[in-house]
Amino acid sequence: MTKITNIKPKCLIVEDDEDCRWIIMRALMRLEFECETANDGRHALEIMKRGDYQVVVTDLKMPNKHGFSLATDLKSSENPPAVVVYTGVEEPKLVTQLYTLGVDEVCIKPISPDVLAAKINAVFHRWIENNQKNKPEIKEPVAEEGAKPNVVRKVTRGAGGKKHVKLAVRAS
């Protein structure tokens, strides 16, 4: 589990090279990530329909649907996950375009699996913090003037944005 929340992080790894998928998955599992893999962007979008992933790690050069197109689709979705691009393409203009698109991190190959996992973990924590900040604050209902409610309700947000409701009964 993470320090910030009790949510077990879920990551989708999108990479056409099976060995790379396995290496990234093992490094993330050491950090207690739950991982699933896809071999291209089209397969990744199918998996995203079935699951709720906080982080997607994707290569750029893949068959069927490349990583740039996948990142574009993910970042334009209603509840976008954090996106980490893991690529051997070291082109400054491309990296700038990825960050402009909203990609959270760009990691250039070769990179140590443990360093990559640490960067993905940091991206996950930022994603959690940003999603907690962007949720509207739940406020207590305001009673009409002069009304004396019998039940007082207090709603707070705990770790991970989990909603806690406390009810107390007052004598009239």
pLDDT in tens, 113-160: 999 999 999 999 999 988 876 554 434 344 445 554 444 455 555 555
Q: Return the number of other C-beta atoms located less than 10 Å from residue 66's C-beta.
A: 16
Q: Is the dihedral of CA 122, 127, 128, 132 positive or negative?
A: positive
Q: Provide the residue type at 161 as one letter.
A: G
Residue 161: pLDDT band (50, 70, 90) is low
**Which pLDDT score is estimated for 14?**
98
For 98-112, how does the pLDDT look when each residue is reduced to its tens digit (9 = 90+)?
A: 999 999 999 999 999
| Coil, helix or strand at residue 34 | strand
Report how far residue 169's alpha carbon sits from residue 32's, in angstroms, rounded to the nearest whole number: 42
Report all structural domains of the chain as residue ranges with CATH numbers, in order of start. 10-134 (3.40.50.2300), 138-172 (no CATH)
Strand 34-38 to 151-157 pairing = unpaired
Query: pLDDT class for 96, splitting at 50, 70, 90?
Result: very high
From residue 25, alpha-carbon distances to 47, 56, 67 in Å are: 16, 12, 18
**In one letter, which amino acid is 83?**
V
- Whole-number pLDDT of residue 131: 83
User: pLDDT by residue (tens digit) across 28-80?
Assistant: 999 999 999 999 999 999 999 988 899 999 999 999 999 999 999 999 998 89
